Each structure stands twice: as C-alpha cells, then as structure tokens.
Amino acid sequence: MDQRPVGSLRVSEVGIGCNNFGARLDQAGTSAVVHAALDEGINFFDTADIYGDQASEVMLGVALGSRRDEALIATKFGMKYDRSGFCTTPDYVHEACDASLTRLGTDVIDLYQLHFPDESTPIADTIGAMQELVIAGKVREIGCSNLSEEQLRDAVAACGEGPRLVSIQSQYSLLARYPETDGVLDACDELGIGFLPFYPLANGLLTGKVRPGEPIPEGTRLSLMPADRQAHWLSDTLRGRVDALIAFADAEQLPMLDVAFSWLLSHPAVTSVIAGASNPAQVRANAHAVRPLSSAHLARLDELTREVAS
C-alpha cells in the first residue's frame, strides 16, 4: 500500500480507526483486525485514551505484540475519562501520555493528538506540554483533532520554533464536506498540515450496502444509532445523495467503497483515510479500495455532492 508523509512519519493511505476495540470487539476480534491490517500493508492505527472505556489502547498494544515495529500508533487525549468535559492543562497532558504509554505497552507514541479543544486552557500551554513530550522522547510527532481553522492556526503559531504540529483530524466524506467550506482544508494546504479524515463512509451510507428503496441492513452502525442521529443521516436529502452516488458508481462499474476512499485521497492534503473495521474481511476491502479517479469522475462527484458542502 502506498504511504504519505505526516511529519517524519510515513503512513498508509488507509488507516484503522480503533474505536471498535473494547466496544464491539473483544481481544480476539481486535487481534484479527490488527493482524489483517498489517498483512495488507496498513501501518496506521488511530485510537484514543477514552475508546472502549480505556480498553482500546490496551487491546491494540496486545494485538501488535511482537509486530509493534510494523505499526504507527496514533492516540488522543483531552476528553476526561468520564466524558464530563475536557482537560488539556500541562500536568494533565503529561499524565495522560504516561497512562497511554502504559496501556499501549510501548515506550513511544508515534502521533500524539489533542482530541478536542479545551477553552479553559490556553492552547499555547497545551502545545508546550506536547512539545515537551517530543523532546523527552515519549512522542514522535504531535497533531490535533476537531479544531476550527482559527484554532488550528493558533495551535500552529503556538509551536514557535519547537516541534511542529503535523496533522489534524476532522469529519470529511462525500456527504460531509465541511472542511472545504470551514477553511480547515485550505489551512492544511497553506501550512503543510496533514489532514486525516474520519467517518469517511458517512456512518455506513457510503459502503454500498445501503441501496435505493431498501431498508437499512440490521446490525449496521446506522441501524444501531440513536434516533436523533439517525434522523440526520437518514434524511431524505442525504438518502437522495446516496442514491445518486450509487447510480454513478454502478454506471462506472466502480465499487462505492472505492469511490468514497479514492475521492478523499484525491485531495493532496489528505494523508490517510481513517476507517473502522470489525473483521478482517472489512480490513481487506478497505485496503483495496484505493484507485485513481479521472478528472471527469471527480467533476461528476463534485456535482452530485456539492450542495452537501454548504
């Protein structure tokens, strides 16, 4: 699998989102997904200290085991374990990092990311603590997630002459094109920041399993969502967009999965598409879902989904 740079790291174009580990998957299931990913050349694993009630990091570390050197681990901090709010004070940053290192069973985190902004703590204080972790050798690169354009620029400026911020995660897909309109993607291009899209399949709407006129398959992420979230993702507007995208993919004889991933990777700022997986078959499908799209394909996809960006 091809790789793209995130700072000094070379990450696979498809990564594994680890929020299923410790939640939908036990250790055996987690290990099966991780090993399948490594076997397919996927080296990028994105987790967080809160995923799976703090079990995701543990399970990822166990699954990697002797294959740790084949992987790049990204994890996140900043949301309190009881999900009561955010904390990014310097002391908390250091404590959270040490706790993640212990859970992961490793001596270095490849990419350490601010999960959410904490308005009660100056971003310069948080960034300074993250830079200290790099200097101490506990972290190789630092990144962020869920920041606005202004917050991203403030975080980059706070780096000064020290270790720089190399990445940001935001939701981005053919059905959620917000980073194009909120300035984040443009800022990434300008500042040389790697963009890591999550929810690339729009909570399952872009897997190709949701067919026009058919009910949502049982057991899928969409079918298990709370009613208020379902109302958004299953709205007539988005279902109409999905139907049009499926018609396009069918006419061009392209798997919908390939369309979703390859469209994201057509943007030069995108470095790795973070996608969850609950079994090795899904991992293998994701790993083989990257292909060049023609300029005509890209133009048509933009036409079909442009209004979603507004």
pLDDT score for 219: 64
What percentage of the chain reaches a pLDDT higher than 90?
Answer: 84
> What pLDDT, on a 0 to 100 scale, did the predictor assign at position 235?
79
139-145 and 165-171 strand pairing: parallel
pLDDT in tens, 39-62: 999 999 999 999 999 999 999 999
Q: Provide, rounded to the nearest whole percent, the portion of the chain with pLDDT above 70.
A: 94
Average pLDDT estimate for 123-130 = 98
**Token pair for 54:** 């703090």
- Domain with 134 in it: what CATH number? 3.20.20.100
Q: What is the pLDDT of residue 223?
A: 63
Q: 141-166 pLDDT, tens per residue?
A: 999 999 999 999 999 999 999 999 99
The pLDDT assigned to 204 comes to 86
3-state SS assignment for residue 112: strand
**pLDDT for residue 227:** 74
What pLDDT is attached to residue 211? 67
The pLDDT of residue 83: 84
In this predicted model, what pLDDT tens digit does every residue of 190-213 receive, in sequence order?
999 999 999 999 988 898 777 656
Q: What average pLDDT score do residues 77-91 get?
A: 93
Q: What is the pLDDT of residue 66?
A: 97
Catalytic residue among 51, 92, 112, 199: 51
Active site residue 112: no
Residue 203 has a pLDDT of 85
Helix (H) or strand (E) holding 194: strand 194-198
The pLDDT assigned to 208 comes to 78
Please, which pLDDT band fits residue 306 given cuts at 50, 70 and 90? confident
pLDDT in tens, 277-296: 999 999 999 999 999 999 99
pLDDT band at 258 (very low <50, low <70, confident <90, very high): very high
- Cα→Cα distances 146→21, 67, 83, 142, 160, Å: 21, 30, 16, 14, 21
Q: Cα separation of 176 and 230, whole Å?
A: 15
Provide mean pLDDT across the span 75-83: 92
Q: Which domain holds residue 191?
A: 3-309
Q: How many domains does the chain have?
A: 1
* Mean pLDDT rounded to a whole number for the chain: 93
Q: Is the four-CA dihedral 213, 215, 220, 222 of positive or negative sign?
A: positive
